[in-house]
Amino acid sequence: MDPQPIEAFISYTHKDETLRLALDDHLALLKNRRLIDAWHDRRIEPGGDWAQAINANLSSARLILLLVTPAFFASDYCQSVELKCALDRQRDDEASVIPVIMKEGDYVGAPFSHLKELPTDGLAKGRSVTGKKWKNRDEALRDVTEGIRKQLEALQARRVVNQAERVYRAKGGRPPSAEDRAEISGLVQSFGRIVAGRRVLWVDDLPENNTTEIATLQELGVQVATSTSTADALSRLRSDRFDLVISDWVRHEPDTPAAEGPAGPRLLGAMRSKFLHQPVIFYTGWMSPQQLQENVTRAMKAGATGVTASPRELLRWSIGELVRSAALDPAAAFIDIPLYTKPL
């Protein structure tokens, strides 16, 4: 499953069509990475109800870009409909609004003056996209695109935190703490673009128990496949590329006697005997502290990344292993990313 891009709405006047097209070109990589779906009125199909289409997309966008020029303020529709709706939604925390200063103008007292603009210091003389203090327009639009990317990553992080909250409530009956939220958000904003496209095999005989955790990884663009047995997992690991394996510790497998021990460690042992060297994280249900410590010791001796029942720790370890798999040196040491040392 590909990550869902952040919906964006571009508010502009047709007199500035050339500038909108130039910005579109600079947003192309963000579109290809599925970080943004930038809608504008030129995407309305022939015969479509343009007012209805604009209202629908303006009302659903998580990011609204205002392409500010003197002509933008001269447009009654941009002022009375699009700008008003954008600022109302920003006030209600329903959308982020970024004024993009495309042309010079006296914008003192503009209704968006409380919002940070792009490009950097774009309201200063000569610092608009077409201003003389840039070497060329592309340099200015690069600054704009970098600012938009950072805002998209922040919005993506918020979406992952909201998804993680569902995991916490499902597993522990409580929302994540402020500390948990801060760490998850930091992980996503720091490493989300690195792990996008990495592949995880999640092994559990009850995959429906992990749907929220899987959805959290998928929000980052991580591709997650599921397997319900050791035999199937080994077959898939031999025939396909995966960067990480997440497995339960105990798994019901009818063809395997209980005396052979938990299925998770057996999967790890079978992987290593077949020279399958993907890192393995064990994600468990509740265990007593003594059980957990015994299992951690056993797993670490066998070469696992770790054993955890913590959603935050699972995300941190997973991102660490996926960052390592994306590194130029695949033999690099495991990257543990402890923004906070206090355990969950």
Q: How far apart are CA 302 and CA 325, in angstroms?
A: 20
Q: Report which residue type is found at 176.
A: P
* Interhelix angle 289-302/263-273, nearest 10 degrees: 10
pLDDT at 333 exceeding the cut of 60: no
283-223-226 Cα angle (round to 5): 50
pLDDT for 2: 55
Tell me the C-alpha distance between 237 and 150, whole Å: 35
Q: DSSP secondary-structure letter at 335?
A: -
87: number of Cβ within 10 Å: 18
- The residues, ordered by sequence, that sit 6+ positions from 270 with a Cβ below 8 Å of its Cβ are 230, 234
B/e letters for 184-203, b = 16+ CB within 10 Å, e = fewer, are: bbebbbebbbbbbbbbbbbb
Q: Could you say which architecture CATH assigns to the domain 6-152?
A: 3-Layer(aba) Sandwich (3.40)
- The sign one gets for the Cα dihedral 148, 127, 116, 179 is positive
State the Cα–Cα distance between residues 89 and 159, nearest whole angstrom.
17
Tell me, what DSSP letter sits at residue 125?
T
The mean pLDDT of 206-223, rounded to a whole number, is 87
Confidence of residue 257 (pLDDT cuts 50, 70, 90): low
Range ranked top by mean pLDDT from 114-118, 163-167, 172-176: 114-118
- CA 155, distance to chain mean position in Å, is 8
The fold of 196-326 is Rossmann fold (3.40.50)
What residue spans in the chain does CATH classification 3.40.50.2300 cover? 196-326
The pLDDT value recorded for residue 3 is 62
Alpha-carbon distance of 256 to 191, in angstroms, equals: 39
- Lowest pLDDT segment from 157-171, 306-320, 322-336: 322-336
Residue-level pLDDT at 164: 80
Structure-block tokens of residue 229: 């047995």
Of the candidates 335, 344, 285, 291, which has an alpha carbon nearest to the alpha carbon of residue 313?
344
Which structure tokens are listed for 316?
A: 């941190």
Task: For residues 318 and 242, give the distance between their C-alpha atoms in angstroms, rounded to a whole number.
Answer: 13
Look up tokens 């996209």; give the residue.
129
Give the number of other CB atoms < 10 A from CB of residue 248.
Answer: 22
Counted residue by residue, the chain has a size of 344
Q: Average pLDDT of 272-288?
A: 90
pLDDT at 341 over 50: no
- Looking at the DSSP bridge assignments, the partners of residue 97 are 64
